[in-house]
Copies of this chain bind each other. A is one copy, B any other.
Amino acid sequence: MTYSIKDVAEIFNLSIYTIRFYDKEGLLPFVSRNKAGRRVFTESDLYLIRTICCLKDTGMEIKAIRNYVDFVMQGADTIDPRKSLLLEHRAKILRDIENLTQNLNQVDSKLEIYASPKAADIVKEQIRFVEEEKRANGLPSPYAAQK
């Protein structure tokens, strides 16, 4: 069982363009061609592409992914560098999750205000505060500036 570029595009929800672009960028050196020059994907290819998508979806740059793929293509001697590359990336993912979680809290705080029955009052009070602060510093109100 093999797959065409279209199959792969559908499986991974990528455009055909993107797959060819990844190939151009050296992310798919393992994909073979038939006599007509078309890409032929095997199950093992899909397995590695799944990893590539995982790295991409967690924000790894294409250059870094190519690094990883190159290690994979060099065989069992590159296990150590692969490991440290993934460990570093793992740390980045953890930082990203941590960061998103913190920002989620901030969004939730704002939503709490907006959901409160006193929302309008709170907002009006904030506006008063902003205008007072601007005035105290000899600056124009920003609200008037809106058309």
Complex Cα–Cα for A129 and B110 (A)? 53
Q: Is A87 an interface residue (CB 8 A)?
A: yes
In the complex, chain B residues whose CB is within 8 Å of the CB of A111 = 83, 86-87, 90
Decide if A107 touches B90 in the complex (CB within 8 Å). Answer: yes
Closest CB in chain B relative to A103 CB, distance in Å: 5
Q: A32-B139, A83-B111, A114-B82 are in contact. Are A146 and B104 (CB under 8 A)?
A: no
Q: A32-B140, A87-B111, A93-B107 are in contact. Are A76 and B124 (CB under 8 A)?
A: yes
Closest CB in chain B relative to A99 CB, distance in Å: 6
In the complex, chain B residues whose CB is within 8 Å of the CB of A30 = 130, 142
Decide if B42 touches A134 in the complex (CB within 8 Å). Answer: yes
Complex Cα–Cα for A58 and B99 (A)? 8
Closest CB in chain B relative to A126 CB, distance in Å: 8
Q: Do most interface residues of chain A lie in helix, strand or loop, or is the interface mixed? A: helix
Q: Is A94 an interface residue (CB 8 A)?
A: yes
A interface residues (Cβ-Cβ under 8 A, vs B): 2, 29-32, 34, 40, 42-44, 50-51, 54, 57-58, 70, 73-76, 79, 82-83, 86-87, 89-90, 93-94, 96-97, 99-101, 103-104, 106-108, 110-111, 114-115, 119-120, 123-124, 126-127, 129-130, 133-134, 137, 139-140, 142-143, 145-146
